[in-house]
Amino acid sequence: MLNVAFDNSALEDPDLHLESTITAGKPKNQHKFKDIIGQSDKMQEVFRLIEKVADSDSTVIINGETGTGKGLAARAIHWYSYRKSKPFVSINCGAIPENLLESELFGHVRGAFTGATTTRRGKFEIADGGTIFLDEIGDMSPDLQVKLLRVLEEREFEQVGGCKTIKVDVRIIAATHRNLEEEVQKGTFRQDLFYRLYVIPIKLPPLRKRKSDIPILITHFVDEIGRDKNKELDGVSDSAMKVMMQYSWPGNVRELRNMIERFVVLGEDGDELSTRNLPDKLTNFNDGNVSVAQVEISQDGICLNTAVNEFEKTLIVQSLKKTKWVKNRAAKLLHLKRTTLVEKIKRHHLQQTSSPLPSS
């Protein structure tokens, strides 16, 4: 078993505070780091880590579910590095067919293959002096993994069909949504490349693990997209916010942004985002994906009894809805006796019209 973990606290420096770094080119406010919004402790840790490693030239590997902001983080690293004025070149290793990827990365000489009518520089040459961002590196073929290994070690390569060795000065940032340790175990990702890449790992937490970021992300997107579309919408109702805080956001920040964009485009000036504007999948949520892990305990703590009570109520309402209030079946779904369920329904004052999510 490989013992390399993404632990953002590994490089944490208690003396390095975001607020103390209000200098040219540095973050100006602690909830916004370049284009990344986040006030949760988890994101603050990511910001500190990015700031700390930006100038180091060390290889960075960013891991996180889809839509967590891996692309944004890569750009932020480049932006805060001394390479800022040089190119930031991004390539999606998963989106380019294998036979073209090598030439995209390293370039080719004239006549290297059918259609290669001119010599063409690859992304590594274009990025010289700057940063190359190898996105979805977990999708790269084993053949190319070998070639990349050499570039990581020597910063040199040959163009496809060429024999001249080209040397470049590039900072390498890679990203993947995959668990590369598992890919190494499965034999689909080279262990030697894995260790070359895992110099500075940065883990971007899923949105459901940093729910305190949801309100500021919503405000940010309503403003940003509103400006872009020339619309002035009027915030979010309490009940809509409650629903959005409960949802698990499998598509993470991208899913949230898309939802807000839909609201802004379809809404009128002065509209408030209410539960009516939310897609069904949000209002019908609580489908068993609700897990204790989604609750983030704030600085003020949390009342365990109230939280457990709410959780119980949510599951009971869900089972009743699913079974159209046939209590025998609802009790079965919850592995309870009917009498126990009836007792709980009474205690929570639930009626057939009840919903754990007040409508707006």
Ligand X SMILES: Nc1ncnc2c1ncn2[C@@H]1O[C@H](COP(=O)(O)OP(=O)(O)OP(=O)(O)O)[C@@H](O)[C@H]1O
Residues that bind Mg ion (CB under 5 A): 70-71
331 is a site residue for ligand X (CB under 6 A): no
Nearest to 176 by CA among 157, 203, 156, 144: 203
Site track for ligand X across 295-324, x = CB under 6 A: ------------------------------
37 touching ligand X, by CB under 6 A: yes
Partner whose footprint covers residue 289, from ligand X, Mg ion, none (CB < 5 to 8 Å by kind): none
Rule CB under 6 A: say whether 211 interacts with ligand X.
no
Q: How far is the CB of 182 from Mg ion (least distance, A)?
A: 20
- 11 sits near ligand X (criterion: CB under 6 A): no
Bridge partners (DSSP) listed for residue 166: 157
The identity of residue 126, as a single letter, is: I
Chosen residue from 242, 254, 321, 329 binding ligand X by CB under 6 A = 254
Q: What is the DSSP string of 28-50?
A: SBTTEETTEE--SHHHHHHHHHH
Stretch that binds ligand X, among 10-18, 30-38, 154-162, 179-187 (CB under 6 A): 30-38
- Which is closer to ligand X, CB of 70 or CB of 313? 70
Binding residue for ligand X (CB under 6 A) from 29, 66, 309, 340? 66
- β-pair partners for 32: 29, 37
Q: Which residues contact 137 (CB under 8 A, 6 or more apart)?
A: 61, 93, 174, 175, 176, 197
**Distance separating alpha carbons of residues 313 and 355, to the nearest angstrom:** 9
Query: x/- site string to ligand X, residues 70 to 89, per CB under 6 A?
Result: xxx-----------------
d(C-alpha 284, C-alpha 287), whole Å: 7
Backbone angles phi, psi at 272, to 5 degrees: -105, 140
- Which region holds residue 324: left if phi is over 0, alpha if psi is between -120 and 50, else beta? left
**Which residue ranges make up the site for ligand X (CB under 6 A)?**
36-38, 64, 66-72, 177, 253-254, 257
